[in-house]
């Protein structure tokens, strides 16, 4: 049974106050559908709240809310001293719930409930007027413990109130459709060929699935921890390692915004090279600032529009590319796998060169898959994370197969790697994305302009998200004591104003777009972002391995975990090893670039700059703190603080109820549960 109450602030204001203040020891219980209080008083309610409660069709929920209102109006002064609310169980439920007893924060990316969300036995919130948000997720309500530097008023409060389910759906679908996929693939395609791209993305896709599982397990266990996966290594691995990885991750997102602005100016050069690129950088820079300074509402609406365009473009490209390849569109007739034979699937004359080509795709794939870990965090903060995380992981598989691998295969069928129009090829003059060339090279008119326009929108979308994320990450570092406290400042509108100004200043790097070295700047920025992503994923996997090791050494049962990774420690071990191999491979490719046999210092630093940055932060922390530990021993890892401990018997009962519900439900629900 899930019994914590969280209400929509615009509809049940007083009930939301109960969730943010210490609550009472007066007990509310219901028997045969009624609810009474110790103090038992019926006071008048304001009209909007009364209308909201009276229109709820479910009698038990309606009585539950009316009981709260009676208690509130009876003696408001007593609420400051209340410590607990206990809801008596129904006849079919156990009377005690020792687990699940901490207040869980709702996701800042979730403003509603999933269909068929369970409140109690045979009660579902599907009959609330206008889908008002009511969430019951535990057996007691406790005041959330504040971490050092964390304010009582969450700076993301505005975000929680303004981002709606339609925004969440489009954000999840549009994740990954950005510079890495639409533009960044041009360089490795020209350097290595189409087959290495497919292999590189496939390998990274398997790693992503394991990372999502590991991140989800720990996010459920430490749902109230400030910083989330950027904080896990601080108490599971080593504070110095956490400091270095967290800062490099923040720098990654600080670099992504100017990277996207540079990419936008390069994309526009497909149409014209007469206008100074910095003109377009100014336009997009101001647009991103305006969107973000409007707060979460402006950000959410902009992302909804951007992601809708991206998803529609990918769907349209998929259909059109198949038509071109089979000869149904374009002027070249049937193409099939022609370009996989001539000029070929791999670029290079020797096996070593071809193997190096595969290694060269890892950073591009990592950059394209960037921010996927946020999906696990969003799922972990849902009311039923044990169902939401496997569902999120399945969506990752479909995204890898459909959006990434399928479109990359089609690009390989339609764009020869030796085309001089590819961005990143020596003779490129048009600065074209491979998605644009896949259409324009085969005589299809007009469509390529629509694709290029959507690519431009996608680039601006990622830049917008990067600006938003970088400022919040900087604020999070300040809250954890890893950055100057000035970045923790939040204005009345809930915006981290100083952190946003810092992000805006760093984004000025984008004005290098007018330089003839524009493509080189693009390479430098993307290398920093891609390598930083590998560091973060490795830190997540290593934290999970250390967490499981500590659980074993300290004799803790895995049954007290709210969710267990489906891939277990073997999945995290596999992903961690692959991250190390990818870093080694990138070191090789950066030091001795494709097509050469001698070391190149300029190439090394432009492609491997994030590693020296990580080393500087790591040893800088060690010297400053005089902490020379390599890692925290498993027996010394704190497994109690900020961790939610669940009741094993209760979880087993919930699993059985869910399986029973599927067995007794329609067949389509069983099919949907398996595939979705």
**Into how many domains does the chain fold?**
1
Q: Is residue 387 part of a domain?
A: yes
10 Å Cβ neighbour count for 405?
16
Contact 42, 70 (CB under 8 A): yes
In degrees, rounded to 5, the angle at the alpha carbon of residue 134 between the alpha carbons of residues 131 and 139 is: 155
Contact 111, 163 (CB under 8 A): yes
Q: How far is CA 674 from CA 234, 338, 663, in A?
A: 36, 38, 13
The two three-digit tokens of residue 583, written as one number: 């870093």
**Does residue 87 or residue 499 have the better pLDDT?**
499
Q: Is residue 467 part of a domain?
A: yes
Give start and end residues of each alpha helix (H) in 150-238. 157-162, 165-174, 179-182, 186-192, 194-221, 232-236
10 Å Cβ neighbour count for 191?
22
Q: Is the pLDDT of residue 100 over 60?
A: no
Q: How far apart are CA 608 and CA 507, in angstroms?
A: 21
Task: Render the burial of 121-157: b for 16+ CB within 10 Å, e for the rest.
Answer: eebebeebeeebbbbbbbbbbbebeeeebbeeebbbe
Q: Is the pLDDT of residue 231 over 80?
A: yes
Q: What is the pLDDT of residue 424?
A: 62
Q: How far apart are CA 123 and CA 104, in angstroms?
A: 21
Q: Is the pLDDT of residue 549 over 60?
A: yes
Q: Is residue 75 part of a domain?
A: no
At residue 40 the predicted structure's pLDDT band, cuts being 50, 70 and 90, is very low
Instruction: List the single range of 280-289, 300-309, 325-334, 378-387 with lowest mean pLDDT.
Output: 378-387
Contact 500, 471 (CB under 8 A): yes
Q: Is the pLDDT of residue 114 over 60?
A: no
pLDDT in tens, 325-361: 999 988 888 998 889 988 888 988 888 888 888 988 8
Q: Which CATH number belongs to the domain containing residue 239 in this structure?
A: 1.20.1740.10
Q: Is the pLDDT of residue 280 over 80?
A: yes
pLDDT in tens, 156-207: 433 344 456 666 666 666 766 777 788 888 888 888 889 999 999 999 999 9
Beta strands in 19-87 (DSSP E): 23-24, 29-31, 34-36, 82-83
Q: What percent of the chain has pLDDT above 70?
A: 70
Q: Is the pLDDT of residue 81 over 90?
A: no
Q: Is residue 67 part of a domain?
A: no
Contact 11, 49 (CB under 8 A): yes
Q: Is residue 238 part of a domain?
A: yes
Highest mean pLDDT among 86-90, 137-141, 523-527: 523-527
Highest mean pLDDT among 278-287, 299-308, 599-608: 278-287
* Nearby residues of 283 by Cβ (< 8 Å), 6 or more positions away: none
pLDDT in tens, 550-609: 999 999 999 888 889 989 999 999 999 999 999 998 899 888 887 778 888 888 887 888
At residue 383 the predicted structure's pLDDT band, cuts being 50, 70 and 90, is low
| Strand-strand pairing, 6-7 and 134-135 | antiparallel
Q: What is the pLDDT of residue 476?
A: 86
Q: What percent of the chain has pLDDT above 90?
A: 19
Backbone phi, psi, residue 82, to 5°: -75, 140
Q: Is the pLDDT of residue 441 over 70?
A: yes
Q: Is residue 664 part of a domain?
A: no
Quote the crossing angle between the two packed helices 47-54 and 59-74, to the nearest 10°: 150
Contact 258, 511 (CB under 8 A): no
Q: Is the pLDDT of residue 153 over 50?
A: no
In degrees, rounded to 5, the angle at the alpha carbon of residue 586 between the alpha carbons of residues 585 and 587 is: 90
Q: Is the pLDDT of residue 92 over 50?
A: no
At residue 479 the predicted structure's pLDDT band, cuts being 50, 70 and 90, is confident
Q: Is residue 17 part of a domain?
A: no
Q: What is the pLDDT of residue 541?
A: 95
Q: What is the pLDDT of residue 25?
A: 39
Q: What is the pLDDT of residue 119?
A: 37
Task: Render the burial of 576-602: b for 16+ CB within 10 Å, e for the rest.
Answer: bebbeebbebbbebbbbbbeeeeeeee
Give start and end residues of each alpha helix (H) in 507-600. 518-553, 568-591
SS (H, E, C) 612-645: HHHHHHHHHHHHHHCCCCCCCCHHHCCCCCCCCC
Mean pLDDT (the chain) is: 75
Q: Is residue 110 part of a domain?
A: no
Q: What is the pLDDT of residue 86?
A: 35
Q: Is the pLDDT of residue 374 over 80?
A: no
Q: What is the residue range of 435's domain?
A: 166-645
Q: What is the mean pLDDT of residues 655-670?
A: 88
């Amino acid at each position: 049974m899930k019994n914590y109450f969280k209400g929509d602030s615009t509809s049940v204001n007083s009930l939301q106050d109960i969730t943010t203040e210490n609550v009472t020891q007066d007990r509310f219980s219901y028997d045969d559908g009624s609810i009474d209080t110790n103090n038992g008083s019926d006071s008048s309610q304001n009209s909007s709240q009364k209308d909201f409660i009276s229109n709820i069709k479910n009698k038990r929920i309606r009585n539950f809310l009316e009981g709260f209102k009676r208690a509130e109006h009876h003696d408001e002064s007593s609420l400051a001293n209340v410590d607990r609310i206990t809801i008596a169980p129904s006849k079919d439920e156990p009377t005690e719930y020792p687990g699940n007893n901490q207040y869980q924060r709702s996701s800042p990316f979730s403003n509603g409930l999933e269909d068929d969300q369970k409140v109690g036995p045979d009660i579902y919130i599907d009959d609330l007027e206008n889908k008002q948000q009511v969430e019951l997720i535990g057996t007691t309500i406790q005041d959330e413990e504040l971490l050092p530097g964390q304010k009582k008023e969450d700076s993301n409060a505005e975000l929680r109130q303004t981002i709606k389910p339609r925004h969440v759906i489009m954000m999840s679908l549009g994740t990954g459709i950005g510079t890495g996929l639409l533009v960044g693939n041009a360089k490795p395609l020209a350097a290595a060929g189409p087959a290495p791209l497919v292999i590189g993305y496939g390998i990274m896709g398997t790693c992503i699935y394991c990372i999502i599982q590991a991140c989800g397990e720990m996010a459920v266990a430490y749902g109230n921890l400030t910083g989330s996966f950027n904080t896990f290594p601080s108490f599971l691995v080593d504070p110095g390692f956490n400091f270095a990885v967290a800062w490099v991750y923040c720098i990654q997102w600080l670099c992504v915004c100017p990277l996207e602005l540079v990419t936008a100016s390069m994309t526009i050069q497909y149409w014209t090279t007469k206008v100074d690129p910095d003109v377009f950088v100014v336009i997009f820079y101001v647009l991103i600032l305006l969107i973000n300074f409007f707060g979460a509402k402006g950000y959410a609406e902009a992302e909804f529009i951007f992601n809708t365009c991206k998803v529609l473009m990918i769907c349209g490209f998929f259909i059109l590319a198949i038509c071109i390849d089979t000869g149904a569109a374009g002027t070249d007739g049937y193409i099939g796998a022609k370009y996989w034979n001539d000029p070929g699937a791999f670029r290079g004359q020797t096996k070593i060169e071809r193997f190096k080509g595969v290694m060269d795709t890892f950073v591009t794939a990592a950059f394209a898959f960037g921010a996927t870990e946020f999906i696990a965090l969003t799922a972990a903060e849902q009311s039923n994370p044990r169902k939401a995380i496997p569902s999120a992981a399945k969506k990752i598989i479909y995204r890898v197969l459909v959006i990434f691998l399928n479109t990359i295969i089609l690009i390989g069928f339609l764009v020869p790697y030796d085309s001089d129009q590819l961005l990143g090829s020596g003779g490129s003059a048009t600065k074209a994305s491979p998605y644009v060339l896949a259409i324009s090279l085969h005589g299809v008119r007009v469509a390529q302009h629509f694709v290029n326009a959507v690519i431009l929108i996608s680039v601006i979308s990622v830049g917008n998200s990067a600006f938003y994320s970088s400022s919040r990450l900087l604020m999070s570092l300040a809250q954890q004591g890893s950055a100057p406290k000035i970045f923790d400042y939040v204005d009345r509108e809930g915006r981290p104003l100083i952190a946003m100004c810092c992000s805006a200043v760093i984004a000025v790097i984008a004005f290098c777009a007018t330089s003839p070295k524009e493509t080189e700047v693009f390479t430098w920025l993307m290398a920093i972002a891609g390598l930083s992503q590998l560091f973060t994923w490795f830190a997540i996997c290593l934290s999970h391995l250390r967490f499981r090791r500590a659980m074993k050494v300290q004799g803790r049962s895995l049954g007290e975990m709210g969710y267990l990774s489906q891939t277990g420690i073997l999945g995290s071990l596999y992903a961690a090893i692959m991250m190390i191999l990818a870093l080694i491979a990138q070191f090789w490719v950066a030091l001795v670039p494709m097509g050469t046999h001698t070391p190149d210092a300029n190439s090394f630093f432009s492609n491997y700059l994030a590693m020296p940055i990580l080393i500087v932060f790591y040893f800088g922390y060690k010297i400053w703190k005089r902490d020379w530990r390599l890692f925290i021993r498993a027996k010394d890892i704190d497994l109690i603080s900020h961790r939610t401990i669940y009741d094993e018997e209760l979880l087993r009962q919930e699993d059985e109820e869910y399986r029973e519900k599927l067995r007794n439900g329609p067949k389509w629900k069983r099919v949907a549960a398996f595939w979705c």
